[in-house]
Amino acid sequence: MVVRKVKEFIIEKLILICGIASIFFVLLIFLFLAKEGLAVFKIVSPSSFLGGKSWYPISEPPQLGILPLILGSAIVTLGAAVISVPIGVGCAIYIAEIAPLKIKEVLKAGIELLAAIPSVVLGFIGMVTLVPMVKNVFHLPTGLTALSGSIMLAFMAMPTIVSIAEDALYSVPKTYKEGAFALGATHWQTIWRVMLPAASSGILAAVMLGIGRVIGETMAVMMITGNSAVIPQSILVPVRTLTATIAAEMGEAVVGSEHYFALFAIGIVLFVISFAINVTADLFLHKRQ
Amino acid sequence: MRNPHRTQKIAFFLLLLATLLIVVPVGLIVVIIIQKGLPGISWQFLSDIPRQGMRAGGIFPAIVGTVYLVTGAIVFALPIGLLAAIYLSEYSKDNFLTRLIKLAIVNLAGVPSVVYGLFGLALFVVFFKLGASILAGSLTLGIMILPIIITSSREALESVPYTFREVSLSLGASKWQTIRHIVLPNAIPGVLTGTILGLGRAAGETAPILFTVAAFYLPFLPKSVFDQAMALPYHLYVISTQVPNVDEKIRYGTAFVLLALVLFMNLVAIIIRYQFRKKKKW
């Protein structure tokens, strides 16, 4: 009996430790990013790091301004949001409200399929199909542009947007819909005037999480946006995002160099952005419940 | 006066269009990769090492590397993830700590994959001095898939009816005995589904392994967990952007193998889930 009690005591403590492991890992990630990244602020001030217009990390002395990278991420993300939000929310409405049961299952499987495709495969497909298409349609010297990145990333954001927005629409109480129908509203009027407003906080969370996915996406964006770290003047030029900069340059950066610290500092920026997005989206999702 | 029925028709048509705009390209992507990738697949391609600067030969070391990495990640993430899920579903109370844990899980799921790569580099490669190795890469991937495993295992555990636990407890079983012999066996299919989805995710990710394990070109197999290794997603990245003049067949072939691997795992997960739902007795 005593042995069993001791054994159970140990197991239950182990379960508790694993339970709080997630908190531990989040702190650990932040700690190690900070440990390596904050060192860069001995060389540049935070304002000239975030607002500096030139990124030449290996020139002498290195110029470590990430404004071109922030703007690169911003333009690609904005483009992806403009494409993916209406299409994604539209698809969620179609699946949740209109599609017959059998088609609904097929569509949901298709969306899951898209979510499962590795980003490097999407990047590869983008390189061989989308990039030449963009080049020819807009008569550009290269198809590796922010626009190509936006289109590809829009696809990667859609599974997130569709599935969370669809959940939000499902969780609207059935009585709302019945009430609207009883007053003589058409199905579309019910969706537009009753369902969408009722599900709005969940849909907002869906959009935010989709955008979070876009900002954090690395491989596909590195393969098709052309990797040019200058301030973008339009959506039809090559850009370089925050994520792509880390992925492309860390391999060459010497551990402990200014360049290495600066790339970790970019990691902190990304971590803080994704943290803010996820916490806010979580608040919206809980408000609904 | 505006005709509400015509408005509805137009609106529904636009919604259908939006849906097709997502689903049709997905189908096209899969069809293109199968059509162009399948002819490049042969036993030799799957079992040979890359030759002539990766412009010929096969992808065997990359396949093996990915299998090692994914196995390592799951060995690390499954026990921790499952126990964390048990904590959340069986032990936690509705308090601040639980709220904090859930928030941490949401955040782990949202951290960009390249940031996981940085973290793995700083902690495992540099701080623990593991170097770029299978171990460092596996641990990094393991932490990355933890939220997937916790979330799906928790759902599976919570879907076991409360009465099962009450009966077991009323017969004098302890809490842990109840979990071990009653709750867990009923939740296995759900846990398995989450595990396989985690595997698929780990197999396809590139950014977390860029600086923690991936070797550009390594024409032999890793001998221990402290060795570098090639991996399928990184290999696809390398031959499509870093090496000029790689035969299209090799590129599409590699993309096909990676996609097939990931989709196969997802398919297995979906089938397990489906069977489980069908057999569910409560």
In tens, the pLDDT along A50-99 reads 988 888 888 778 888 899 999 999 999 999 999 999 999 999 999 999 99
**Nearest chain A Cα distance for residue B171, angstroms:** 17
Domain assignment of residue A41, yes or no:
no
Q: How many domains does chain A have?
A: 1
List CB contacts (< 8 A) between A114 and chain B. 22, 26
Domain assignment of residue A193, yes or no:
yes
Q: What's the average model confidence in pLDDT over B213-236?
A: 86
Q: What's the average model confidence in pLDDT over A261-286?
A: 92
Residue in chain A lying closest to B11 (CA): A188
pLDDT digits (tens, 9 = 90+) for B4-20: 888 999 999 999 999 99
Q: What's the average model confidence in pLDDT over A112-139?
A: 92
Round to whole Å and give the CA distance between A157 and A287. Answer: 23
Residue in chain A lying closest to B251 (CA): A124
Domains for chain B: give ranges and CATH numbers: 58-276 (1.10.3720.10)
Measured between CB atoms, does A169 come within 8 Å of chain B?
no
Percent of chain B with pLDDT over 70: 99
Q: Which two tokens stand for residue B159?
A: 């879907």
Which helix (H) or strand (E) segment holds residue B57: the answer is strand B56-57
Q: How confident is the model at residue A195 (pLDDT cuts 50, 70, 90)?
A: very high
Round to whole Å and give the CA distance between A91 and B21. Answer: 9
For residue B281, the model assigns a pLDDT of 64
pLDDT of A177 strictly over 60: yes
CATH number of the domain residue A283 falls in: 1.10.3720.10
- Out of A17, A33, A217, the one facing B119 most closely (by C-beta) is A33
Measured between CB atoms, does A183 come within 8 Å of chain B?
no
Domain assignment of residue A13, yes or no:
no
pLDDT of B238 strictly over 80: yes
Residue ranges of the alpha helices (H) in B125-183?
Answer: 134-158, 162-170, 175-178
Q: What's the average model confidence in pLDDT over B13-39?
A: 93
pLDDT of B167 strictly over 60: yes
**B50: which strand partners?**
B57
Q: How confident is the model at residue B124 (pLDDT cuts 50, 70, 90)?
A: very high
**Nearest chain A Cα distance for residue B78, angstroms:** 11
For residue B48, the model assigns a pLDDT of 85
Greatest mean pLDDT among A86-95, A138-147, B128-137 lies in A86-95
Measured between CB atoms, does A284 come within 8 Å of chain B?
no
Alpha-carbon distances of A121 from A228, B182, B206, B212, rounded to whole Å: 22, 42, 10, 20
Domain assignment of residue A22, yes or no:
no
Give residue A260's domain range.
Answer: 50-288
Q: From B148, B110, B102, select the one nearest B269 (Cα to Cα).
A: B148
Round to whole Å and give the CA distance between B226 and B136. Answer: 8
pLDDT of A289 strictly over 60: no
For residue A60, the model assigns a pLDDT of 78
Q: What's the average model confidence in pLDDT over B143-148?
A: 95
String of DSSP letters for A8-76:
HHHHHHHHHHHHTHHHHHHHHHHHHHHHHHGGGGGTS-HHHHHH-S-EETTSSS-EE--HHHHHHHHHH
Q: Which two tokens stand for residue A10?
A: 């140990």
pLDDT of B250 strictly over 80: yes
List CB contacts (< 8 A) between B233 and chain A. 118, 120-121, 219
Domain assignment of residue A40, yes or no:
no
Q: Which residue has the tokens 């537009």?
A: A192
Domain assignment of residue A45, yes or no:
no
Residue in chain B lying closest to A114 (CA): B26
Identity of the amino acid at B225: V
**Nearest chain A Cα distance for residue B271, angstroms:** 12
Q: Which two tokens stand for residue A221?
A: 């964006």
Alpha-carbon distances of A179 from A94, A98, A289, B69, rounded to whole Å: 21, 18, 21, 54
Q: Does residue B190 contact residue B153 with C-beta atoms inside 8 Å? A: yes
For residue B282, the model assigns a pLDDT of 61
Mean pLDDT over each residue of chain B, to the nearest integer: 90
Domain assignment of residue A8, yes or no:
no
Inter-chain contact A158–B22, Cβ cutoff 8 Å? yes
